[in-house]
Amino acid sequence: MRFCLVLFGAIMALGVLALPRPAEAGPSHAIAMHGTPLYPANFHHFGFTNPAAPKGGTIRFAAVGTFDSLNPFIVRGTAAVGLREQVFESLMARGYDEPFSLYGLLAETIETPPDRSWVAFRLRPEARFSDGTPVTVDDVVYSLETLRDKGRPNYRTYYSKVTKIERPDARTVKFILAPGEDTHTPDREMPLILGLMPIIPKHVYEKRSFDQSGLDLPVGSGPYVVDEVKPGARIAYRRDPNYWGRELAVNRGRYNIERVVYDYYRDSNSSFEAFKAGLYDARPETDPGRWTGEYDFPAAKAGQVRKIAFKTAMPSGMKALVFNTRRPFFADRRVRIALTYLFDFEWTNRTLYHNAYKRTESYFDNSELSSHARAASLRERELLAPFPDAVRPDIMAHGYEAPVSDGSGQNRMNRQKALALLREAGYDIRDGKVVNAATNTPLSFEILVATPADERLALVYANMVRRAGIDARVRNVDASQYQGRLDAYDYDMIFYEWSQSLSPGNEQSFYWGSAAADENGTRNYMGVKSKAIDAMIEAMLAARTHEEFVAAVRALDRVLMAGNYVIPLFYSPTQWVALWNRVKVPPRTSLYGYRTDAWWIGAQP
């Protein structure tokens, strides 16, 4: 919250904050998912950019793996990195100072009624593709129909909600939206989803086999064009000297660098060695051991490389050990709580991760959407009132609190609490083993993993539960087998990480809706079926104001945490990036963290 107040103050200082016109009162320059957009129609630039940044230079990034396609919109092939961001634009641009707001890009205005049953976009007359051809309504319609019919499954899911397309005039396109099957009201997120639809030129792609991967040079309306392609090894982008949108407010201070290069490396270790040698300029880091102990190479010691921990207001998401409650022995919540007590975070964080992480205590930690350390508001209590047994009083009072150990690795007190809960659940200790008191069957389960990092942590946790007399086995399988077993829910326990945004929406039903529990291939990996969860998701999707939305998400968070469906693990509250000194960054980051398109090369202006 303090970060948000600082952000608000900074934008006030820029002189750009005025009372913006609501996006639903006729055509508007912007739209917010909830409430009104932050920036008015006459704003000069986003607060996370530096409009005085110099232009020019080259920046080099690393990518791991390979690529064999220049089409990022289809399932076939492996597309090169950067295509969507550098080459293809949308009707609107996201404002990263806000949870979910869009501002005009290819479209100069957006219009949608209060019920969001339709949305209309009016195109800018100056918008052009990189070959000089104007962007037209035909291109917008072609993009939707092509992506819906031949693109990735997520395009098909969303764009199929458009039931009719109208053309009020030569520069305006109007999408009529279908009501939801359950709510019988339009999906309130759809106007924004359509605003973020990539626009492709019909005159180019109707002559190609769109659903086939290949290396035909892409054509878009974005700030860069493809400059160099070495399949599987390198892709480079060059700033389009004729880019039509360079003076738009949404672009000021962005796309400053003349050439953007991605070199591919076999793995993270080889790419790190290349970074140390100065072969590329910017390295996001995810390994806490490397971040805390391996950036002591000569260039770093000489001050040529700096480490930055960018603060972000993004939700942590939930990285966790997941119980499959479809298994009878995990159906009892007391067993799940007992096994949570046996995970010693303090020892694990110190021994394996150099104390780099914070314990996760919410599905939306590190953001205003989290219920952790917050008392339930009046609105939350109203939402949860029909479900009096869904949330424990302590979680209503202050959110979920994870068990804490002394960090010694013994974890005796929490082990005693775990064994007491297991006895309540009908288990007994016999010959040093936890067994079902009625059947004498040992409490035993398997942890399924597919990566070395997960295997290492799984083995540590298995050792922790064995000390309590529980048999936990770790099975490492290849990636394809792992995904197949996940899709069929054929496991006892897995590692998984649900990412979250500042504007959670329809995907929450896919994560933990009751209907998703019995449908193969969803992300309801715990198998939860809860009327309270379904009701909180429905309230979240129906929210009209920011306050209503936050209350619904926090209430959902409380129900999920009270169910103990996972053992919450940990997260980093900052984004770790190492930069060679030639790369400069703005003084302030967005709510979503750093944005590479706001960086520049050379002196600090």
pLDDT, one tens digit per residue, over 338-348 is: 999 999 999 99
Cα-Cα-Cα-Cα dihedral sign, residues 433, 436, 441, 443 = negative
Residue 412 has phi, psi (to 5 degrees) of: -65, -45
- Which residues are CB-contacts of 427 (< 8 A; sequence separation ≥ 6)? 335, 434, 435, 436, 437, 443
Q: Would you give the DSSP letter of residue 17? A: -
Q: Taking all residues of the chain, what is their mean pLDDT, rounded to a whole number?
A: 93
H/E run at residue 479: helix 479-487
CA–CA distance, 397 with 377 (Å, rounded to integer): 10
pLDDT (0 to 100) of residue 157: 86
Cα-Cα-Cα-Cα dihedral sign, residues 581, 587, 589, 595 = negative
pLDDT (0 to 100) of residue 603: 67
pLDDT (0 to 100) of residue 181: 63
> Quick one: 19 exposed, middle or buried, by C-beta within 10 A (0-12, 13-18, 19+)?
exposed
Share of residues in the chain with pLDDT > 70 (%): 95
Are 512 and 528 within 8 A, CB to CB?
yes
pLDDT (0 to 100) of residue 467: 96
CA–CA distance, 439 with 327 (Å, rounded to integer): 16
Q: Inform me whether the pLDDT recorded for 191 exceeds 80.
A: yes
> Quick one: 381 exposed, middle or buried, by C-beta within 10 A (0-12, 13-18, 19+)?
middle
Mean pLDDT for 279-293 is: 95
Q: pTM of the predicted model, to two decimals?
A: 0.86
pLDDT (0 to 100) of residue 480: 86
Q: Inform me whether the pLDDT recorded for 23 exceeds 80.
A: no
pLDDT, one tens digit per residue, over 532-588 is: 999 999 999 999 999 999 999 999 999 999 999 999 999 998 999 999 999 999 999
Q: Which domains does the chain have, with CATH numbers?
A: 318-332+341-412+479-571 (3.10.105.10)
pLDDT (0 to 100) of residue 2: 39
Quickly tell me which residue has 């700096």 as its tokens.
306
pLDDT (0 to 100) of residue 605: 55
- Helix, strand, coil percent values for the chain (each to nearest 5): 30, 20, 45
pLDDT (0 to 100) of residue 602: 87
CA–CA distance, 564 with 340 (Å, rounded to integer): 8
> Cα Rg for the chain, rounded, in angstroms?
26
3-state secondary structure of 341: helix
- Which residues are CB-contacts of 476 (< 8 A; sequence separation ≥ 6)? 449, 450, 455
CA–CA distance, 515 with 506 (Å, rounded to integer): 13
Q: Secondary structure of 36-84 in the HEC alphabet?
A: CCCCCCCCCCCCCCCCCCCCCCEEEEEEECCCCECCCCCCCCCECCCHH
H/E run at residue 588: none
Mean pLDDT for 317-326 is: 97
Are 443 and 496 within 8 A, CB to CB?
no
pLDDT, one tens digit per residue, over 483-532 is: 999 999 999 999 999 999 999 998 999 999 999 999 998 999 999 999 99
Closest CA relative to residue 108, chosen from 130, 129, 88, 93: 93
Q: Inform me whether the pLDDT recorded for 14 exceeds 60.
A: no
Closest CA relative to residue 580, chosen from 309, 310, 305: 305
Are 80 and 262 within 8 A, CB to CB?
yes
Mean pLDDT for 368-394 is: 98
Are 30 and 101 within 8 A, CB to CB?
yes
Mean pLDDT for 52-81 is: 95
pLDDT, one tens digit per residue, over 133-183 is: 999 999 999 999 999 999 998 899 899 999 999 999 999 999 999 986 655
Q: How confident is residue 184, by pLDDT bands cut at 50, 70 and 90? A: low
